[in-house]
Homo-oligomer: A and B are copies of this chain.
Amino acid sequence: MTIAPAMLDAVLARVDADLANALSRLKDLLRIKSISTDPAYAAECQRAAQFLVDDLAGQGFTAAARPTPGHPVVVAHDSVGTGPHVLFYGHYDVQPVDPLNLWHTDPFEPVIKDDANGRKIIVARGSSDDKGQLMTFVEACRAWKNVNGSLPVRVSLMLEGEEESGGKNLPPFMAANADELRADIALVCDTDMWDRKTPSITTMLRGLVGEEIEITCASKDLHSGMFGNAARNPNQVLAEIIASLRAPDGSVTLPGFYDDVAEVPDAIKAQWKGLGFDEKAFLAEAGLSIPAGESARSVLEMIWARPTCEINGMIGGYTGDGFKTVIPAKASAKISFRLVSGMVPDKIRAAFRKHVQDRIPADCSVTFREHGGSPAITVPSDGVYLKQALAGLTGEWNKEAVITGSGGSIPVAGDFKKILGMDTLLIGFAHVDDSIHSPNEKYDLESFHRGIRSWVRVLAAFAA
């Protein structure tokens, strides 16, 4: 069924009129401390799931918080809609908030304020990643139902709670409920706009391999005066291993690391050139000016089309106030690899583990712990849903929507393809300065408001 322009306008008007209420609902969700990686917050994750179940059930969805071995997955279906079937995806869990002292306000007490450029923003952990983004499509559904009585297409939602903590329970859940969850297209709202004026659909995403290593040398902490020089120091061993992961030219040294990495086709490079990406401005956003990756590559290539190895955390010995002349027994690190299309997570993990194991002195030992693994994905750029969605976005933002890559990893997109056989459109309204995973995370009110309006239009476009 085609949507009459007057109906579309009425739904959009409803979004505008209901914005204050929508913000109030978002703030309620942001107040829930759903840090999925920390077991201390398990009950908060449960609360966030229930909040969404209640909201969706109130809209008339059949909704439930479905148990997993970890945090629940919220699944909701609309029994009324017709036409194409879409599956919205978002995650209600958030990153930890440390270092807490760098937040200007309580991370779980959202505040709306003007940023330095006079833009309205909402500041809280999860405001952008991903509670603010997922509420854009929840609110779009509400507006459609309120005005039209029903959605213009068949809509299901799957909202998970372990995206920030490896998400290993979601693929089995999807496999066990494949027939129920399979739709014509998956819609993921967890990415950025190209810039403040230009909406975009991300069609390239890096994959991820997460690893934690713990190196043990002595059987106990030692006095560095008594044993220093003679006893192996695990901090030194760990530092040498980390240093050995990068060559002076910025490339990753693991044997075979680039074997399955294809060069970006010239046509795509040309398209990227047309985006007018400003390397200097991108780095300046982070207070930097010199790209750190492979010296022969552009920054856009580095973050969209080249794999990387990052040390996300490392610790060993005495790190409190003052000084302690200790040679610790252990040192550990959390290390992640971002993969590009063609790379096989298990192969990279195995190469990494061998590289580390080869560098452990004979009287020391290492343990490995897996923190997730997913391949990169590339979405076909010629599908009908992609074209309809681009048109919907272009209509809202009055600027041609573009197709981009992303350096981040959204493993679920790969799983949708592998487990459910469906493609994914990655459409998001976040910005690079949102400080996701950092103190003072924020989401622009414009992202939220026009994000909701964008989904209203995209759903209408699918019905055409």
Residues of A within 8 A of B (CB): 36-39, 95-96, 98-99, 102, 164-166, 192, 206, 208, 210, 212, 217-233, 235-236, 238-240, 242-246, 250, 282-283, 286-294, 299, 302-303, 306-308, 310-328, 331-334, 336, 338, 361-364, 371-372, 406-409, 432, 435-439
Contact = CB atoms under 8 A, between A and B. Distances in A.
Contacts of A225: 206, 208, 338, 406-409
Instruction: Tell which of A96, A212, A240, A437 has the most Cβ of chain B within 10 Å.
Output: A437
Contacts of A98: 318, 320
29 contacts: A38-B320, A38-B321, A208-B325, A218-B288, A219-B287, A221-B435, A226-B406, A226-B432, A228-B338, A229-B308, A231-B283, A233-B310, A235-B333, A236-B245, A239-B240, A289-B362, A289-B363, A290-B361, A311-B316, A312-B327, A313-B319, A313-B326, A314-B331, A315-B315, A315-B316, A315-B319, A322-B371, A323-B371, A324-B334
A234 to B, nearest CB: 9
Contact of A166 (B227, B322, B438): B322
Contact of A323 (B212, B242, B286, B322): B212
A314 B314 contact: yes
Contact of A303 (B227, B238, B286, B436): B227
Contacts of A322: 36-38, 96, 165-166, 371
A98 B212 CA distance: 22
Counted per complex, copies of this chain come to 2
Counting chain B CB atoms within 10 Å of each CB, the highest count among A37, A95, A239, A244 belongs to A239
Please indicate which of the listed interface residues A206, A219, A230, A319 has the most CB atoms of chain B within 10 Å of its own CB: A230
A166 B321 CA distance: 12
Nearest to A334: B323
A28 B412 CA distance: 60
